[in-house]
Chains A and B, each alone.
Chain A
Amino acid sequence: MSGIVDPGLQAGARAPGSRRSERSRGGTLGPAGTVAAAVVVVAVVAAVWPALLGGGDPLAVHPADALAAPGPAHPFGTDESGRDVLTRVVAGTRASLVVGVLATLVGGFAGIVLGTLAGLGGRVVDAVVGRVTEVAFALPLLLVALVVIAVTGPGAVPATLAVGFATAPGYARIVRALVRTARSSQVVETAVLQGRSPGRILLRHVLPAALWPVVAVATLGVGQAVVWASALSYLGVGTPPPAPEWGAMLADGRTYLLTAPWMSTFPGLAIVVLATAVTVLGRAVRRAGAAR
C-alpha cells in the first residue's frame, strides 16, 4: 500500500516547485525511460495483437509435451497440460495491461470525484470523506480489494473495480489538497472579482490545477495496479482459469516449483518487467513534462 501512497503524496507536495527544481533532461525520456518505453510498446503490441509475438492458441493443450523444459520448441517451456508458457505469457499481457489501466482510471476518477467533493464541500463533507479515506488507508490495500470482491464475487471486472476502489483514497487525498490550494488562490479570487460563476471557475481554474499532478501520479499507479491485479488472480479471485493471466499462472506453477520452475518464473518476470517499465516510464514522462 505504501508503494502507492508515498510517490503520490510526494508528487502532490512537490508539484508546484518541481517544474523548476527537477533537473531538465532536455524534455527527453533519458536512457532508462527509453528502454521502459520500448518495453511498454512491446507489451501494448502483445495486448493488441498477441499472434504477432507468441502465435498459437494459449488454451491449446498437448498432454504429450507436458512440463517440457525451455528449449527451441518452447522457449519458456510448457505447463502441466502441455500449454506453451511463452504463448500464455504473451496472451496474458492483455489482461494485465487492461486491468492495470482500467483500475487506475477507476481509482483516479473515483479519487478526483471524492477529492473534489472534500475540497469544495463544507466541513461535514470534508470530514466524512477524510475519515473514510483514513480508514481505507489504515487497511492493507489487498484487504480492501478482497472485501470488494467478497461483495461482487470473483472475476476480471470485479478485480478491476476492487483495485480501482482500493487505490482511490490515495488519489482523493492528493486532489483534495490541490483543490483546497486552488480554491483559496488569488487566481480564483480574481475570477470571482470578474464575476465568473462557481461552475466555470471549477472547470477553468480549479480542476486543471488538480488534474495534471494526478495524471502524473496515476502513470506511476498503473504499474502498481498491474501488480495488485496479478495478486488477486494469484489468490484465485481475479481472472478465472484457464484464461491466461500472469497471477493465475504463477499460482498454477507453485505445485511444480521444484520440477518445472519455468512455469512460475516467466509469468513472474513478466509482472516485474511490465510493472517496472510502466513506473519508470511514468517517472520519465513526468520529468519530461516538468522540464517543459
Chain B
Amino acid sequence: MSAVAPRVLDVRGLTVSIDGTTVVHDVALHVDAGECVALVGASGSGKSVTARAALGLSAPGAVVTADRLDLDGTDVRRLSERRWRRLRGTTVGYVGQEALGALDPLRPVGREVGDALRLHTDLRAVDRVEAVRRALAAVGLDPSLATDGRLAGTLSGGMRQRALIAAATVTAPALVVADEPTTALDAAVAVTVMEQLRAAQQRGAGVIVITHDLGLVAGWADRVVVVDDGTVVEDGPVAAVLGAPVHAATQALVRAARPGAERVPAPVSGAAPVLEGVGLTRVFDGVPAVQDVSLAVRPGRVTGVIGASGSGKTTVARMLLGLEEPDAGTVALDGGPWVPLPERDRRGRRHRVAAVVQDPGATFDERWTVERVLADALTDGGARRASGGLADRVDAALRQVGLDPALRSRPPRTLSGGQRQRLAIARALATGPDVVVLDEPVTALDATVQDAVLGLLGRLRDDTGVAMVFVSHDLRAVRRMADDVLVVHEGQVVEQGPASRVFDAPEHPATARLLTASARLAAGA
C-alpha cells in the first residue's frame, strides 16, 4: 500500500531538547494514508514528546529541530502558531491521554465535537449538525448527542473517549494521533475505541497510536516503531518486530505483552476461609451496585474478581475491607465478625487485612518519606524514623519488593509509578497480614512494569503464603495470579470456580463476552 499511498506524515532527523536535555534524538517516522502505526515504548522513552513535536504541540521551552517535517505534503517546520491551529483542526486530529479531563464539563458534548467544524470550515449550522451526527454515529454514540445538550459528566469513560475520537475525526483529517487511547479502559470498551480508529484508517486517514503496551496494538497496527531513550530502536511490520525483536527494549515489551504464565493452582485446601463475605448487597441512590455477592478467601489462595468497568468489583473490595458498609450481608474474618462492625472493634485486627489500590500515589502523606511510611507501618504507627534494628527491617522490606534501600529518604511522589506500587505492596505486607485485597493493582502501570509487579506479587504469594483478593478488569493479570475466579456482572456474581475452568470453559454469556473482548483486543479483530 505504501508504494502508492501518499505520505501524510514524514519526519526525519527530529531532535527535541527540553531545558538543554535532549529527550528525542534524530528520530525518523513516517505514516502513509490508510496506515496504522504504533509508536511504542516505556514511560519516559520519548514517544509522546515525539508525536507532540510532530504536531507542533511541544511544551514551552522545548527546542525542536528536524531535517524534514512534512504534514500532508506541507513543510511545517516554520509554521506560525496561527497556521498550526488551522492544521490541527483540519489536517490532524489529536486524541489525548485523559479522556475524562479533555471534555469541558460545562459544555454540551455535541458542541465540543463540532468545534473543529465551526472554527475551520465554512459549513452552515445545519450541515455542521449533520456532520457531527455522522461523526457520533461512526463512533457508535447516539447521534442525538449532537443537539440534545448533554454534558460530558453524563457519559461513561468509554463514551467520553469515543466522543473525543469523534471530535478528532469530524473534519476527516489526513492524520489521527491517539495517545494511549485504551489505557485504563476495560477490554470491551477498548475494542470499540480501537474499532473507531480503524474505521478512520479505512476512510483513508493515517493513524498513529502511542502506547506502552505492545500487546494492545499488535493486532491493530500495520507497523510498529519502538522508541527507547529518545531514539527509534526498531521499525518494521508488526509480525516481524514481534516475531524477532532485536533490541533489548523491544524484547522487554514483547515479554510483557505475552500472555503470562498461567497460575498453577494451589492445592485445594479444606482450611476454613480467612475472609468470607456472605450475601453482600450495596445500593447507591436507589441503584443496586452490588447484589447478594458471596465469596470465601482461603489461606494461601488467590481469588480473582473480574468484571467490566462499573460492574461493582471495587464496591465488593471496599466492603471486604470494611470501608463501605453493606446494606445487607456480612463479612467474617477467621469466623469472627468483621463487617458490619464499628470501626473501633475492627481496629485491633486491622493488621491482618491489608489493601493495595490502583493509584497508590494519593495514599502516601506528601510530607512523609519512604522511610517514615515503612517505619510507621512496621511499628503500628509508633516510629517516625528508623534507626538500629528498625532501619534493618525497613531495608529488608524495601528489598523484599525489589526497591533499592537508597530510596529511603525520598518522598514517595518522586518515585516512578512502578516504584510507588512496590512501596504500597511493601507497606501492605509490613504487618504480616493474612489477606491482601488488591484493587486493580497494575492497571495504571506500564506493560513492562506490570509484568514486573505481577512477578513480584506471585513471588510474595508463594514466599509468604498470604491469601489475596485480586480485583481487575485485566483478564491477563487475573489469569496469571488467581486460583479461583469470581465473575461480577451488573453487581451480581454470574459465575465462579477454579480459574482454569472459568477461563477455558466459561458458562455465563457475560464471562464469555469478557474473554472474547480480551481476545479481540489482543488479536485486533
Q: Are B350 and A193 in contact (CB under 8 A)?
A: yes
Q: How many angstroms from the CA of A257 to the CA of B350 in the assembled complex?
A: 73
* B82 on interface, CB distance cutoff 8 Å: no
Q: Are A189 and B363 in contact (CB under 8 A)?
A: yes
Known contacts A186-B357, A197-B347, A208-B367: does B362 contact A192 (CB below 8 Å)? Answer: no
Q: How many angstroms from the CA of A209 to the CA of B364 in the assembled complex?
A: 12
Q: Are A186 and B362 in contact (CB under 8 A)?
A: yes
Q: Are B343 and A185 in contact (CB under 8 A)?
A: no
* A25 on interface, CB distance cutoff 8 Å: no
Q: Which residue of B lies closest to A212 (CB)?
A: B367
Q: Are B343 and A186 in contact (CB under 8 A)?
A: no
CB interface residues, A 205-222, toward B, < 8 Å:
205, 208-209
* A3 on interface, CB distance cutoff 8 Å: no
Q: Which residue of A lies closest to B355 (CB)?
A: A193
Known contacts A186-B357, A189-B323: does B362 contact A196 (CB below 8 Å)? Answer: no
Interface mask (A185-201 → B, CB under 8 Å = 1, otherwise 0): 11101101111110010
Q: How many angstroms from the CA of A192 to the CA of B363 in the assembled complex?
A: 11
CB interface residues, B 303-332, toward A, < 8 Å:
321, 323
Q: How many angstroms from the CA of A237 to the CA of B357 in the assembled complex?
A: 59
Interface mask (A164-198 → B, CB under 8 Å = 1, otherwise 0): 00000000000000000000011101101111110
* A204 on interface, CB distance cutoff 8 Å: yes
Q: Which residue of B lies closest to A198 (CB)?
A: B343
Q: Which residues from chain A contact B323 at a C-beta distance below 8 Å?
A: 189, 192-193
Q: Are B362 and A187 in contact (CB under 8 A)?
A: yes
Minimum C-beta distance from B377 to chain A (A): 6
Q: Are A192 and B364 in contact (CB under 8 A)?
A: no
Interface mask (B343-356 → A, CB under 8 Å = 1, otherwise 0): 10011111101110
- How big is the A interface, by class? 10 to 19
* B381 on interface, CB distance cutoff 8 Å: yes
Q: Which residue of A lies closest to B361 (CB)?
A: A186
Q: Which residues from chain B contact A195 at a C-beta distance below 8 Å?
A: 346-351, 380
Q: Which residues from chain A contact B349 at a C-beta distance below 8 Å?
A: 195
Q: Which residue of B lies closest to A197 (CB)?
A: B347
Q: Which residue of A lies closest to B365 (CB)?
A: A187
Q: How many angstroms from the CA of A209 to the CA of B363 in the assembled complex?
A: 14
* B431 on interface, CB distance cutoff 8 Å: yes
Minimum C-beta distance from A153 to chain B (A): 44
Q: Are B363 and A190 in contact (CB under 8 A)?
A: yes
Q: How many angstroms from the CA of A196 to the CA of B343 in the assembled complex?
A: 10
Q: Are A193 and B343 in contact (CB under 8 A)?
A: no
Q: Report how many A-B pairs have Cβ atoms within 8 Å.
A: 46
Q: Are B343 and A192 in contact (CB under 8 A)?
A: yes
Q: Which residues from chain B contact A204 at a C-beta distance below 8 Å?
A: 365, 381
Q: Which residue of B lies closest to A193 (CB)?
A: B355
Q: How many angstroms from the CA of A205 to the CA of B346 in the assembled complex?
A: 20
Minimum C-beta distance from A257 to chain B (A): 53
Q: Which residues from chain A contact B346 at a C-beta distance below 8 Å?
A: 195
- How big is the B interface, by class? 20 to 34
Which of A185, A197, A200, A209 has a CB less than 8 Å from the CB of B362?
A185
Minimum C-beta distance from B381 to chain A (A): 5
Q: How many angstroms from the CA of A261 to the CA of B347 in the assembled complex?
A: 70
Minimum C-beta distance from A200 to chain B (A): 6
Q: How many angstroms from the CA of A195 to the CA of B353 in the assembled complex?
A: 10
Q: Are B362 and A193 in contact (CB under 8 A)?
A: no
Q: How many angstroms from the CA of A192 to the CA of B355 in the assembled complex?
A: 11
Which of A187, A193, A205 has a CB less than 8 Å from the CB of B321?
A193
Q: How many angstroms from the CA of A189 to the CA of B355 in the assembled complex?
A: 10
Q: Which residue of A lies closest to B318 (CB)?
A: A189
Q: Are A205 and B381 in contact (CB under 8 A)?
A: no
Minimum C-beta distance from A72 to chain B (A): 56
Which of B347, B350, B354, B364 has a CB less than 8 Å from the CB of A187?
B364
Interface mask (A42-79 → B, CB under 8 Å = 1, otherwise 0): 00000000000000000000000000000000000000
Q: Are A194 and B363 in contact (CB under 8 A)?
A: no
Q: Which residues from chain A contact B363 at a C-beta distance below 8 Å?
A: 186-187, 189-190
Q: Which residue of B lies closest to A200 (CB)?
A: B381
Which of A185, A192, A193, A197 neighbours the largest number of chain B CB atoms within 10 Å of its CB?
A: A193
Q: Which residue of A lies closest to B437 (CB)?
A: A193
Which of A186, A190, A192 neighbours the largest number of chain B CB atoms within 10 Å of its CB?
A: A190
Q: How many angstroms from the CA of A214 to the CA of B161 in the assembled complex?
A: 40
Q: Which residue of A lies closest to B377 (CB)?
A: A194
Q: How many angstroms from the CA of A192 to the CA of B353 in the assembled complex?
A: 11
Q: Which residue of B lies closest to A189 (CB)?
A: B323
Minimum C-beta distance from A215 to chain B (A): 14
Q: Which residues from chain B contact A189 at a C-beta distance below 8 Å?
A: 323, 363
Q: Which residues from chain A contact B377 at a C-beta distance below 8 Å?
A: 194
Known contacts A187-B362, A200-B381, A204-B381: does B354 contact A193 (CB below 8 Å)? Answer: yes
Q: Which residues from chain A contact B321 at a C-beta distance below 8 Å?
A: 193
Interface mask (B367-394 → A, CB under 8 Å = 1, otherwise 0): 1000000000100110000000000000
Q: Which residue of A lies closest to B354 (CB)?
A: A193
Q: How many angstroms from the CA of A187 to the CA of B367 in the assembled complex?
A: 11
Q: Which residue of A lies closest to B373 (CB)?
A: A190
Q: How many angstroms from the CA of A26 to the CA of B188 in the assembled complex?
A: 49
Q: Are A194 and B431 in contact (CB under 8 A)?
A: yes
Minimum C-beta distance from B69 to chain A (A): 31
Q: How many angstroms from the CA of A186 to the CA of B358 in the assembled complex?
A: 12
Known contacts A186-B357, A208-B367: does B362 contact A194 (CB below 8 Å)? Answer: no
CB interface residues, A 109-151, toward B, < 8 Å:
none
Q: Which residues from chain A contact B364 at a C-beta distance below 8 Å?
A: 187, 190
Q: Besides the contacts A196-B347, A208-B367, what 15 more A-B pairs have beta carbons closer than 8 Å?
A: A185-B362, A187-B362, A187-B365, A190-B363, A190-B364, A193-B321, A193-B323, A193-B350, A194-B351, A194-B431, A195-B350, A195-B351, A196-B381, A204-B381, A209-B365
Give 6 nearest A-B pairs by CB, closest first: A195-B350, A186-B362, A190-B363, A186-B363, A195-B347, A187-B365
A–B complex contacts, Cβ < 8 Å, 24 sampled: A185-B362, A186-B362, A187-B362, A187-B363, A187-B364, A189-B363, A190-B355, A190-B363, A192-B343, A193-B350, A193-B353, A194-B351, A194-B377, A194-B380, A194-B381, A195-B350, A195-B351, A195-B380, A197-B347, A200-B381, A205-B365, A208-B365, A209-B365, A209-B367
Interface residues, chain A, CB within 8 Å of chain B? 185-187, 189-190, 192-197, 200, 204-205, 208-209
